[in-house]
Amino acid sequence: MPSSRIARNSLIVVGLSAVLSTGLATGTALAEPPNIPSESTARSELAGLTVRADGSSTGYSREKFPHWDDQGDSCNTREVVLKRDGTDVVTDSSCAATSGTWKSPYDGGTWTASSDVDIDHVVPLAAAWRTGAAAWTTAQREAFANDLDDPQLIAVTDNVNQAKGDKSPDQWKPPLESYWCTYASMWIDVKHEWKLTINSAEKTALTEMLDHC
């Protein structure tokens, strides 16, 4: 793991402890994934990514990316993101969200039941597998699937997330065109931080999405 990631993880742990220590009711101190790069940084990171045809999906399964990990205080990764991305989220003693409001940036939908919300892996696990993660250790894949440091996890409308599946930006984009710039910036940063490759169609789509910034 790069030293920059270790340092950033340490900061996230401090921030996470602050969020979890606020009690059962939480607000929106972090209403979106952390460390979304600026347009200029995203363009620079995109230029540095290796362009290569995607590998095979052979051997892939979600079980090879263990998630949702225990994050302390009875909360797992999903529950932490629900707290972070929601408004006035109230949880019970097991950290399950019993009430709150979530606005999905992908489609603008607003939900008051956590069951209507999915935690999306911005770069899907299967897409990561095809672009480098097949060669990782299970520990590396687990870290990727539970990444609270980079802009990789976000609370969104469940059926929109299901429509996305494991598609890359040349195959699927958020329904809200106004979010394309942010989505592309998040995707690029995750691929940059985790040293995953992109294919040529994906790079073209990302470039066009950044033109919406």
Q: Please give the pLDDT value at position 31.
A: 54
Q: Is-contact 104 175, C-beta < 8 A?
A: no
25-56, pLDDT tens digit by residue?
Answer: 333 333 589 999 999 999 999 999 999 999 99
Q: What is the pTM of this model?
A: 0.86
The more confident residue out of 30 and 175 is 175
Q: Could you tell me which residues are beta bridge partners of residue 155?
A: 119
Q: Please give the pLDDT value at position 32.
A: 83
Indicate the SS3 state at residue 27: coil
Q: Could you tell me which residues are beta bridge partners of residue 156?
A: 118
